[in-house]
């Protein structure tokens, strides 16, 4: 923050000028200076140093005035030193300057942040940013598109405090979860509601991020509650780009990049694995090794020849990813359009995984009379995803002594250990998913009279998917059944009709208010059909040959409807631009709620005080914005799955002897509950928005406290009834946290701009109540099976506490019959100090992050822009199966390969991992809890914008070339391919790409 | 201005026009429970589904290993467990508690069957009961209920007697849950069985269903439990003379995928067809049971051994016959010793033969680990019929629940107590002679009947009940439970923990702790000896 150029100096000089002014005024009282006309001259420039033409210069209180010339110069006649000159220009802050005894007054004008007020999309409308009373964060599209992914969720990572994005799958076309302000539901989902151009959608990743103009995240209940029973997990509003009047823009962008694997752990290499196996079969405590020949059996020759395989490179190879987008936006007086096509293609590092997607969008706005207009949004997406075989992750656990190819280079199906070759399996399967998605959204707008508007919002959204899997007769699983084919067909449709009335009225300068009334009906229907067939004469036709299966499983068909009927009213009142009030109520009726609880009521109220607009602060130029916000609201989570409140029966097949299969019906083990209702979150939010030095430094500090009650929990019921449980609204969870974000522009000049941003968020999550069951002492019972503990985080582990390894000279106490450790065994803590290791010695380990944050900066100099951002998650604990689990090679049995650890031997008294052996090691999982906190250089990018003078001749308005590296550097102690995923998940790539953006 | 007001009112009216129907949840792919309680075909469909649900005894939906069946088989005087879930608690009686998983699961399973049966039985009050479909359904539902309560009372002694249908409306009614008088339980069981015997036919085209023969067999078992020997003898005679059942050859009893032969009285139906598979209700995935794996030792871990059908295919090695059982056979004459068990394994892996051995040589265990891997094994559940490859874990072979041999042995027991020696000799020699022994013409003692019961029915699920009703459970476990084998000074087998662990209270299971918590221990106390 060293460099503060002229602009900052000007700002800093304000207090100094004030002192001078004051001193001078005192002088004025003493001395009477005679009136005398003279000329004052000067130059007016903007902050970047450009001369400003046409700036009005007026002698205050008179009609005398002039404007600056092309070089920004002016000259005006003044009478006395106490005269005040006023400089004004549209879009800039007006400056008043007392003449004093100066004859040259140079002025730097600042853009007026107050008049160039940005509009923010809020639910059912837009609002000036300064008028916001709730907690809304806007994310700009260009910041999102810096990350090369198809997942919009992944693009939001680090962009807004309190929005935590976690990767669920790194495979091409993979997805990420978004969690806003902590987990609220135990059994329902925690995914936010997405609204694209006013239409709720279930999946945002099908949309092309290049079409997005802005994303607004509604974080507090007062801004969410107008979406009622679906808003408990937060609402994300997405606005797509539209055509502009009398302007035509053609954009083309493209990038191509490579993905490479990265990891922070080592496998055992050939020699090390051989040694591990020897140690695992060494006698203890005598320390006698077995004979290699009998120990390694038919792998022995490879040991002698040191003929080893690096399995990772057999499975993972660098891969290409590319994206192309073309869009046209154009408009006349009455009609505007925006249209785009996009194509994305990502090959997987693990063949045959891949993802391809084509997007098409057409947005149009047409004003067909003085008071009526129509707008249309259409989006079509086609995507095609192929997956690798489920057994691909076995490459991690394959012994280096196993050879995938025979001496002639022919791929082997079954390896020397009689297990199947994962590379072979991966080549003998097909797993494809095709998706068609179409969204049609029509709006009719009618301005009934000035201020009163009616909008009809209608949409239709369909999503058809087909997944086909074929494991051919050479595949491990297909070989049992002569091929296995499965097809899953999904069809989702929803319809939305909304009647929206808004009335906007300025009573006078001091009082403005607006009212919004909404009636909405939303019908969603999801259908799924799946079929499985076995026994094929040929593998050639893949799963499409399912009709020729010699045997089939029952076809499974499920249909789940959700209908939602809603009414919403909202009143907003703005008094003197200082006191802002908002109150709303949403009423939702849902088909999934029990017959006796069909309607939910979700009220909210909020207040904001723009302190910086108060008289006593208005003139404080260092303070450009100070706003205090307070809100409370209630929102719901429609977590009830369809049909939970009804008494339905399940079907069961029964075949007597060799007869025909018959079907019968019985109710499930869960007793229906006709009283089921939504989960409700009541949430209090307070925040301060601030801006200093003409918003060169701006930011927000927020506190929230939310309690979710009526959580859906399975309550055990007396089993003599024939039922085991009933779903009931009973649990409760609390979340509270602090969020802070700040943006700064330390330098802003003609050729050089430097920006910085940082955000930080904490969340504390706590279970307040579970299913209400009490133990014999009347204390509420924790749900150990689900690892839910009252007073603790929703996400927890429950296990013994690792304390190191028993050493040869340790005196090992008697812990009772369940735990008889020897040197080299795991030492766990006797937490309750009763001298025994019992299940009571387990401890609760919080899994979710203590805080998350990001920090980024960009520096632009004459068209060259360099930017980077860091993202960090701190205080996360994750269990790493690759450190203890036998299927993941962590068991130190010396059968499988895995993540290399410093294990204990007679010669190497390690304190971090136990003695290898071909037998179960007690309490092994206790050492696998690793700190999965990480700091990551998420994106680093260098771009060059060609100067517009150069581009004019070739009719381009913009040409930008850039290179970006994503996930280039990560620091974490969690041993995996990614700190958010286990080592056996599809590995996360680091991506290096070059791209180009052109506009005409 | 007025115009505006009217317009506004017009739109408001528009806004609030909607229909409540929109919020009615429409069901597309499932039917409501009304169907099964209001029509004869609905009742029949519920009963049909109960046969499917009942198979869960052999195959938990989440855990393929900890099955009720295999856990309930353990803890007697003729078997020894090796390892696996539930083995310490049921197989060695270590730490058997109200919180033990399969204790709760057994309670839940049986009361679920009772609940389903109550639904169907209750429906008979509304349905036209002249319809033979309804009568058949009611009769089968009543056997299901009787059978479930018979399991519960024998295993827990202290149970609640529920004959009411539970609904969301009555689930929260305040009821004081107190243990039922066993007389009331047996009265209900007999009432249910009598109705079934009166209305079920002997024959069915749908093997696996309860028949009159199955109902009578269960009636005889109930009577044996109550020591009503006259009734036992009566039911056994009726079954014997019905002409619908015959003993088959030893090899045939367990020797095919389909076990609905003339000796079988009640058989759990499994096959690879739809309806013959266990279908996981949560995931829809289909799979068979794992019975063959339970009873086959891990022979394949020995050098020179590969998995093959001859050796028993894929093994888990959970439960074996013990030496006490095997000593009961006359190894030379009694063919069951060879037909029901595998005693020796032979090298079958040409690639991994130990030095000096050749294919087909027998393996001789020399230490404890080897002995466990080559332990004599029960082959009653072996399945080389439905599995395509030896390394397949799933089996679709039927499982026999009751067969005529048991009926005959009950007959022998009854006539022993009634003192009718010709009938005793008649029934005793049925299984004895079939096994290849010469007809026994001397005086048949009670001990001989008890041993013949073990020889014939070992590891089929009746031993624990047999010992309990004869008051021998604790005594015999103390004497013969587990196994200790020493040969030439080498201890080959040493697992007799159960002999030390067994306590008088082990004649019954603890009540599931979670259920005591719900019912209140002041009303429904834990069985004595358990805490």
Q: Are residues B431 and B315 in the same domain?
A: no
Decide if A49 is inside a domain: yes
For residue B63, pLDDT over 70 is answered with no
| Candidate from A297, A558, A722 with C-beta closest to B115 | A722
Q: Considering CB atoms only, which of A298, A664, A723 is closest to B166?
A: A723
Q: Which of B418, B399, B401 is nearest to B224 (CA)?
A: B418
Tell me which chain B residue has its CA closest to the CA of residue A530: B284
SS3 of residue B261 by DSSP: coil
Q: Would residue B360 count as lying in a domain?
A: yes
> Among residues A109, A129, A155, which one ends one of the domains?
A109
Confidence at residue A12, expressed as pLDDT on a 0 to 100 scale: 42
Q: How confident is the model at residue A592 (pLDDT cuts 50, 70, 90)?
A: confident
Over residues A189-213, the pLDDT tens digits come to 888 999 999 999 888 888 888 899 8
Cβ neighbour number for residue B27 with a 10 Å cutoff = 14
> Residue A734 domain-assigned?
no
Phi, psi of A256 (to 5 degrees): -140, 140
The verdict on residue A181 lying in a domain is yes
Q: Measured in whole angstroms, how far is the alpha carbon of residue B76 from the centre of its chain? A: 15
At residue A5, does pLDDT exceed 60? Answer: no
Asked if residue A991 is part of any domain, the answer here is no
Q: Confirm whether A706 is domain-assigned.
A: no
**Does residue A667 form part of some domain?**
no
Using the predicted structure, report yes or no on whether residue B3 has a pLDDT greater than 70: no
The per-residue pLDDT for range B330-359, each reduced to its tens digit, is 999 999 999 999 999 999 988 768 778 899
Instruction: Give domain status of residue B98, yes or no.
Output: yes
Q: Do B281 and A650 touch (CB under 8 A)?
A: yes
Residue B11, pLDDT above cutoff 70: no
Interface test with A, best of B12, B17, B27, B29 (most A CBs within 10 A): B29
Q: How many structural domains does chain A have?
A: 2
Are residue B412 and residue B389 in the same domain, yes or no? no
Within 8 A of B177 by CB-CB distance, chain A residues are 718, 720
DSSP-derived letter for residue B166 is: P
Of B171, B199, B227, the residue that ends a domain is B199
Which structural domain range is residue A203 located in? 119-242
| One domain for residues A234 and A190 | yes
Mean pLDDT, residues A605-622 taken together: 84
pLDDT for res A529: 94
B18 pLDDT exceeds 70?
no
Residues B367 and B427 in one domain: no
Asked whether residue A842 carries a pLDDT value surpassing 80, the answer given is yes
User: In this structure, is residue B278 part of a structural domain?
Assistant: no
Facing A648 at nearest CB: one of B32, B112, B392: B32
Is A652 in contact with B48 (Cβ distance < 8 A)? yes
Which of B168, B199, B230 represents a domain boundary (last residue)?
Answer: B199
Q: How many Å lie between the alpha carbon of A663 and the closest alpha carbon of chain B? A: 7
pLDDT range class, residue A30, cuts 50, 70, 90: very low
Q: For residue B115, name the pLDDT band (cuts at 50, 70, 90).
A: very high
For residue A28, the model assigns a pLDDT of 43
Domain contains A623: no
A93 in the same domain as A11 = yes
pLDDT at B19 exceeding the cut of 70: no
Angle at A977 between CA A975 and CA A983, to 5 degrees: 70
pLDDT of residue B283: 54
Identify the pLDDT of residue A6. 40
CB neighbourhood size of A416 (10 A): 17
A421 has a pLDDT exceeding 60: yes
Chain A contact set for B185 (CB, 8 A): none
* Domain total in chain B: 3
Q: Are residues A69 and A147 in the same domain?
A: no
For CA atoms B159, B160, B165, B171, give the dihedral sign. negative
3-state secondary structure B430-470: HHHHHCCCCCCCCCCCHHHHHHHHHHHHCCCCCHHHHHHHC
d(CA B301, CA B243): 48
Cβ <8 Å between A665 and B25:
no
Instruction: State the pLDDT confidence band at B309, using cuts at 50, 70 and 90.
Output: very high
Q: Please tell me whether residues B384 and B409 are part of one structural domain.
A: no
DSSP A926: G
Answer yes or no: do A647 and B33 touch at CB < 8 A: yes
Please report, rounded to a whole number, the percentage of residues in chain A having pLDDT higher than 90: 49
- Please answer yes or no on whether A716 and B518 come within 8 Å at the CB atom: yes
Neighbours of A864 (CB within 10 A): 11
Confidence of residue A463 (pLDDT cuts 50, 70, 90): very high
For residue B162, the model assigns a pLDDT of 95
Q: Are A884 and A928 in contact (CB under 8 A)?
A: yes
List CB contacts (< 8 A) between B518 and chain A. Answer: 716-718
Say if residue A41 is in the same domain as residue A97: yes
Statement: residue A14 has pLDDT above 50: no
Rounded to whole angstroms, how far apart are CA atoms A92 and A46? 9
Are A127 and A231 in the same domain? yes
ipTM for the assembly: 0.90
B414 and B360, same structural domain?
no
Q: Which of A140-144, A448-452, B30-34, B281-285 has the lowest mean pLDDT?
A: B281-285
Name the residue among B26, B29, B49 with its Cβ closest to that of A557.
B29
Asked whether residue B373 is assigned to any structural domain, the reply reads: yes
**What value does the mean pLDDT take over residues A497-523?**
90
* pLDDT tens-digit series, residues A788-822: 899 999 899 999 999 999 999 999 888 876 688 88
> Which among A501, A642, A667 has the least Cβ separation from residue B33?
A667
In contact, B391 and B407? CB cutoff 8 Å: no
Does A605 reside within a domain? no
Q: Sorting pLDDT into bands at 50, 70 and 90, what band is A158?
A: confident
- Domain boundary (A55, A86, A109) is at A109
Cis peptide before A285 (omega within 30 of 0): yes
Closest Cα of chain B to A627: distance in Å? 36
Q: Are residues B169 and B39 in the same domain?
A: yes
Question: What is the C-alpha to C-alpha distance for residues A194 and B151, in angstroms, rounded to an integer?
Answer: 54
pLDDT value at A34 more than 80? no
Q: What's residue B15's pLDDT?
A: 52
Q: How far apart are CA B529 and CA B527, in angstroms?
A: 6
CB-based contact B272 A551, cutoff 8 Å: yes
Q: A193: domain CATH number? A: 2.170.130.10
**Is A650 in Cβ contact with B279 (below 8 Å)?**
no
Structural domain ending residue among the three candidates A109, A144, A161? A109
**Lowest-pLDDT range of A105-119, A826-840, A855-869, B320-334:** A105-119
Residue B251 lies inside a defined structural domain of this protein: no
Confirm if A867 and A858 have CB atoms less than 8 A apart: yes
pLDDT of residue A26: 45
Q: Which residue has the tokens 């339905």?
A: A648
Verify that B338 and B386 share a domain, yes or no.
Answer: yes
Specify whether A32 is located in the same domain as A126: no
Answer yes or no: do A200 and A124 share one domain. Answer: yes
pLDDT digits (tens, 9 = 90+) for A521-533: 999 999 999 999 9
Higher pLDDT, A772 or B130: B130
Say if residue A102 is in the same domain as residue A124: no
Decide if pLDDT at A478 tops 80.
Answer: yes
User: Which residues pair with residue A606 across a beta bridge?
Assistant: A582, A631
Residue A121, pLDDT above cutoff 90: no
Range of the domain at B118: 33-199
| Mean pLDDT calculated for residue range A614-640 | 85
Shared domain for A134 and A103, answered yes or no, is no
Determine the pLDDT at residue A836.
84
Averaged pLDDT, A467-494 = 91
Same domain for A129 and A233, yes or no, is: yes
**Can you tell me the distance from the alpha carbon of A746 to that of A500, in angstroms, rounded to the nearest whole number?**
44
Q: What is the pLDDT of residues B433-467, one digit of tens each?
A: 999 999 999 999 999 999 999 999 999 999 999 99
Query: Which pLDDT does position A373 carry in this prediction?
Result: 95
d(CA A42, CA A75) in angstroms, rounded, equals 7
| CATH of residue B109 | 1.25.40.890
Quick one: average pLDDT of A776-786?
79
Q: B358 in a domain, yes or no?
A: yes
Question: Does the pLDDT at position A218 exceed 70?
Answer: yes
**Same-domain check for residues A64 and A139:** no
Alpha-carbon distance B472 to nearest alpha carbon in chain A (angstroms) = 30
Q: Is residue B216 part of a domain?
A: no
A662·B275 Cβ contact <8 A: yes
Q: Among B39, B49, B210, which would you mutate to test the A interface (most chain A Cβ atoms within 10 Å of its Cβ)?
A: B49
- The pLDDT tens digits for A579-590 are 999 999 999 998
Q: What is the mean pLDDT of chain A?
A: 87
The tokens describing B249, both together, are 């050859």
Same domain, B153 and B184: yes
- Reported as half-sphere exposure (CB side, CA atoms, 13 A), residue A302 has a value of 24
Do A298 and B351 make contact, defined as CB atoms within 8 angstroms? yes
- pLDDT per residue over A251-289, tens digit each? 999 999 999 998 899 999 999 999 999 999 888 888 889
Q: What element of type H or E holds A295? A: helix A292-296
Select from A451, A550, A648, A718 the residue whose CB has the most chain B CBs within 10 Å, as the one to mutate to test that interface: A718
Q: A331: how many CB neighbours lie within 10 A of its CB?
A: 20
| B262: in domain | no
Res. A685: pLDDT tops 90: yes
B456 and B379, same structural domain? no
Q: Do B424 and B387 share a structural domain?
A: no
Domain boundary among B395, B416, B449: B395
Q: Based on the number of CB atoms within 10 Å of its own CB, is A700 exposed (0-12), middle (13-18) or buried (19 or more)?
A: buried
Question: Which residue of B25, B274, B514 is in closest CB contact with A554?
Answer: B274
What's the pLDDT band for A4 if we cut at 50, 70, 90? Answer: very low
Same domain, B78 and B138: yes
Q: What is the CATH number of the domain that holds A98?
A: 2.60.40.10
Mean pLDDT calculated for residue range B216-226: 98
Residues B89 and B180 reside in one and the same domain:
yes
Q: Count of A–B CB contacts within 8 Å?
A: 224
> Is residue B369 classed as helix, strand or coil in its secondary structure?
helix
- Max mean pLDDT range (A293-297, A507-511, A745-749): A745-749
Tell whether A130 and A188 lie within a shared domain. Answer: yes
């Amino acid at each position: 923050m060293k460099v503060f150029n002229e602009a900052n100096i000007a700002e800093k000089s304000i207090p100094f000028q004030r002192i001078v002014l004051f001193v001078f005024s005192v002088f004025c009282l003493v001395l009477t200076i005679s009136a005398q006309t003279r000329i004052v001259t000067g130059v007016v420039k903007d902050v970047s140093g450009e001369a400003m033409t046409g700036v009005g210069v007026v002698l205050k209180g008179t009609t005398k005035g002039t404007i600056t010339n092309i070089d920004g110069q002016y000259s005006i006649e003044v009478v006395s030193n106490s005269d005040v000159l006023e400089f004004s220009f549209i879009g800039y802050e007006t400056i008043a300057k007392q003449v004093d005894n100066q004859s040259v007054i140079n002025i730097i004008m600042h853009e007026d942040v107050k008049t160039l007020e940005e509009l923010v999309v809020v639910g059912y409308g837009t609002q000036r940013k300064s008028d916001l009373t709730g907690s809304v964060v806007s994310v700009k599209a260009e910041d999102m598109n810096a990350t090369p992914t198809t997942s919009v969720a992944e693009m939001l990572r680090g962009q807004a405090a309190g929005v935590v994005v976690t990767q669920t799958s790194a495979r091409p076309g993979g997805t990420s979860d978004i969690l806003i302000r902590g987990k609220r539901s135990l059994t329902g989902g925690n995914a936010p509601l997405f609204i694209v151009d006013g239409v709720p959608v279930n999946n945002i990743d099908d949309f092309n991020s290049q079409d997005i103009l802005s994303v607004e995240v509604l974080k507090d209940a007062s801004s969410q509650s107008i979406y009622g029973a679906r808003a408990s997990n937060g609402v994300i509003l997405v606005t797509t780009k539209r055509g502009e009047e009398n302007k035509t823009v053609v954009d083309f962008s493209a990038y191509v990049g490579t993905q490479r694997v990265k990891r922070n752990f080592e496998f055992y290499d050939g020699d090390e694995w051989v040694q591990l196996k020897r140690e695992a079969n060494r006698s203890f405590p005598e320390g006698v090794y077995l004979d290699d020949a009998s120990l390694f059996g038919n792998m022995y020759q490879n040991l002698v020849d040191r003929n080893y395989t690096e399995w990772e490179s057999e499975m993972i190879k660098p891969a290409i990813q590319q994206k192309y987008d073309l869009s046209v936006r154009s408009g006349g007086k009455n009609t505007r359009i925006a249209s785009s096509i996009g194509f994305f293609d990502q090959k997987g590092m693990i063949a045959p995984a891949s993802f391809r997607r084509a997007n098409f969008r057409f947005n149009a706005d047409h004003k067909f009379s003085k008071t009526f207009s129509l707008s249309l949004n259409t989006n079509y997406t086609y995507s095609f995803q192929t997956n690798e075989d489920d057994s691909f992750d076995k490459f991690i656990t394959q012994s280096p002594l196993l050879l995938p190819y025979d001496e002639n280079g022919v791929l082997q199906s079954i390896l020397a250990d009689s297990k199947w070759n994962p590379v072979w399996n991966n080549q003998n399967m097909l797993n494809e998913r095709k998706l068609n998605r179409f969204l049609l959204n029509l709006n009719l707008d009618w301005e009934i009279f000035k201020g009163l508007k009616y909008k009809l919002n209608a949409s239709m959204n369909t999503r058809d998917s087909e997944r086909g899997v074929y494991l051919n007769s050479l595949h491990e699983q297909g070989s049992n059944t002569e091929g296995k084919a499965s097809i899953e067909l999904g069809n989702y449709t929803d319809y939305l009709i909304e009647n929206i009335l808004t009335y906007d009225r300025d009573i006078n300068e001091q009082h403005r208010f607006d009212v919004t009334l909404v009636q909405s009906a939303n019908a969603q229907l999801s259908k799924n059909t799946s079929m499985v067939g076995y026994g094929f004469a040929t593998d050639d036709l893949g799963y499409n040959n399912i009709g020729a299966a010699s045997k089939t499983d029952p076809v499974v068909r499920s249909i789940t409807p959700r209908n939602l009927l809603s009414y919403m009213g909202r009143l907003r009142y703005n008094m003197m631009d200082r006191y802002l009030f908002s109150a709303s109520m949403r009423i939702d009726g849902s088909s999934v709620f029990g017959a006796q609880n069909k309607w939910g009521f979700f009220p909210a109220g909020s207040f904001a005080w723009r302190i910086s607009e108060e008289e006593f602060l208005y003139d404080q130029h260092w303070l450009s914005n100070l706003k205090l916000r307070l809100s409370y609201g209630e929102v719901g989570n429609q977590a009830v799955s369809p049909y939970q409140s009804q008494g339905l029966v399940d079907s069961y097949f029964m075949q007597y002897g060799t007869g025909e299969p018959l079907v019968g019906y019985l109710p499930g083990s869960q007793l229906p509950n006709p009283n089921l209702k939504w989960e409700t979150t009541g949430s209090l939010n307070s925040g301060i928005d601030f801006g200093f030095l003409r918003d060169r430094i701006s930011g927000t500090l927020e506190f929230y406290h939310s309690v979710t009650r009526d959580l859906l929990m399975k309550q055990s019921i007396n089993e003599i009834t024939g039922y085991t449980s009933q779903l009931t609204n009973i649990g409760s969870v609390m979340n509270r946290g602090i969020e802070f974000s700040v943006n700064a522009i330390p330098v802003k000049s003609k050729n050089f701009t430097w920006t910085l941003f940082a955000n930080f968020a904490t969340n504390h999550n706590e279970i307040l109540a579970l299913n209400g069951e009490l133990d014999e002492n009347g204390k509420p019972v924790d749900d150990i099976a689900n690892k839910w503990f009252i007073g603790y985080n929703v996400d927890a582990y429950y296990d013994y506490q690792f304390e190191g390894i028993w050493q040869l000279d340790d005196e090992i106490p008697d812990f009772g019959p369940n735990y008889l450790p020897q040197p080299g065994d795991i030492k766990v803590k006797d937490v309750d100090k009763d001298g025994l290791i019992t299940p009571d010695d387990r401890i609760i380990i919080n899994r979710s992050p203590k805080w998350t944050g990001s920090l980024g900066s960009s520096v632009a100099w004459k068209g060259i822009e360099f930017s980077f951002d860091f993202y960090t998650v701190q205080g996360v604990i994750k269990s790493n199966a690759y450190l203890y689990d036998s299927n993941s090679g962590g068991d130190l049995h010396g059968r499988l390969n895995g993540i290399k650890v410093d294990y204990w031997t007679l010669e190497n008294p390690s304190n971090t991992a136990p003695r290898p052996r071909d037998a179960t090691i007690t309490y092994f999982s206790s050492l696998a809890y690793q700190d999965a906190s990480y700091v990551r250089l998420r994106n680093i990018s260098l771009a060059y914008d060609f100067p517009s003078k150069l581009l004019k001749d070739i009719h381009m308005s913009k040409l930008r070339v850039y290179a970006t590296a994503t996930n280039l550097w990560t620091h974490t102690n969690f041993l995996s391919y990614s700190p958010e995923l286990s080592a056996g998940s599809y590995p996360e790539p680091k991506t290096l790409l070059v791209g180009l953006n052109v506009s005409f | 201005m007025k115009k505006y007001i009217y317009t506004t009112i017009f739109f408001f009216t528009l806004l609030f026009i909607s229909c409540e129907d929109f919020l009615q949840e429409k069901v597309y792919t499932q039917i409501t429970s009304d169907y099964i309680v209001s029509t004869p075909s609905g009742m029949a469909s519920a009963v049909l589904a109960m046969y499917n649900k009942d198979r869960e005894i052999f195959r938990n939906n989440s855990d393929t290993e900890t099955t009720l069946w295999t856990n309930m088989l353990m803890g007697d005087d003729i078997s020894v467990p090796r390892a696996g879930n539930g083995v310490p608690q049921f197989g060695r009686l270590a730490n058997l508690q109200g919180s033990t998983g399969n204790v709760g699961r057994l309670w839940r399973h049986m009361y679920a069957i009772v609940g389903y049966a109550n639904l169907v039985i209750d429906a008979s009050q509304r349905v036209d009961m002249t319809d033979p479909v309804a009568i058949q359904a009611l009769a089968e539902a009543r056997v299901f209920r009787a059978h479930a309560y018979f399991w519960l009372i024998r295993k827990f002694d202290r149970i609640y007697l529920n004959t009411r249908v539970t609904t969301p409306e009555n689930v929260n009614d305040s009821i004081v849950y107190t243990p039922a008088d066993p007389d009331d339980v047996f009265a209900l069981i007999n009432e249910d069985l009598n109705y079934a015997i009166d209305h079920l036919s002997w024959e069915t085209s749908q093997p696996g269903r309860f028949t009159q023969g199955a109902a009578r067999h269960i009636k005889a078992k109930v009577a044996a439990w109550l020591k009503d020997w006259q009734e036992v003898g009566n039911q056994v005679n009726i079954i014997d003379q019905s002409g619908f059942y015959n003993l088959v050859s030893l090899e045939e009893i367990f020797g095919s995928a389909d076990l609905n032969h003339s000796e079988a009285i009640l058989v759990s139906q499994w096959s690879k067809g739809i309806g013959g598979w266990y279908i996981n209700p949560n995931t829809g995935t289909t799979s068979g049971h794992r019975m063959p794996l339970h009873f086959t030792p891990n022979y394949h871990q020995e050098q020179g051994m590969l998995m093959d059908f001859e050796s028993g295919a894929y093994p888990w090695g959970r439960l074996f016959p013990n030496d006490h059982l095997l000593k009961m056979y006359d190894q030379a004459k009694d063919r069951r010793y060879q037909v029901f068990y595998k005693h020796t394994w032979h090298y079958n892996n040409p690639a991994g033969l130990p030095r000096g051995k050749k294919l087909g040589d027998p393996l001789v265990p020399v230490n404890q680990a080897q002995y466990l891997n080559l332990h004599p094994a029960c082959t009653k559940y072996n399945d080389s019929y439905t599995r395509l490859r030896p390394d397949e874990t799933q089996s679709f072979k039927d499982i026999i629940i009751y067969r005529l041999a048991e009926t005959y042995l009950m007959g022998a027991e009854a006539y022993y107590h009634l003192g009718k020696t010709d009938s005793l000799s008649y029934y005793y020699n049925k299984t004895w002679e079939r096994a290849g022994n010469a007809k026994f013409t001397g005086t048949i003692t009670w001990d001989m009947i008890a041993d013949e019961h073990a020889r014939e029915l070992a590891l089929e699920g009746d031993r624990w009940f047999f010992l309990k009703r004869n008051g021998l459970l604790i005594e015999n476990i103390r004497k013969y439970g587990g196994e200790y084998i020493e040969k030439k000074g080498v201890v080959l087998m040493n697992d007799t923990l159960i002999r030390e662990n067994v306590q008088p209270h082990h004649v019954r299971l603890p009540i599931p702790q979670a259920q005591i918590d719900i019912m209140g221990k002041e009303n429904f106390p834990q069985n004595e000896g358990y805490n």
